[in-house]
Amino acid sequence: MNDIPEEPNVEPIKPDTVLYLCDRRACENCAYPLCKHTTDIYHAVNFEKGLGGGYWEKE
């Protein structure tokens, strides 16, 4: 039995792409700890929706 997870299929990252630490709920089959980031701010660990519907980084 192999306990090492398979490497996820990851698309190349385009220049100027912003990556956030992921809440591990963005993907149906999460590849944590091989993948720890997301481009979807909705799933960013350190951001929350605030006033006016914008996203704010948590202190």
Asked if residues 47 and 23 have their Cβ atoms less than 8 Å apart, the reply is no
Q: Helix/strand/coil (H, E, C) string of the chain?
A: CCCCCCCCCCCCCCCCCCCEEECCCCCCCCCCCCCCEECCHHHECCEEECHHHCEEECC
Give the up-direction half-sphere exposure of residue 25: CA atoms within 13 A in the CB hemisphere. 6
- pLDDT for 8: 62
Residue 20: burial class (beta carbons within 10 Å; 0-12, 13-18, 19+) = buried
Predicted confidence at residue 5, as pLDDT, reads 59
Tens of each residue's pLDDT in the chain, 59 residues? 566 656 666 678 899 999 999 999 999 888 888 889 999 999 999 999 998 999 999 98
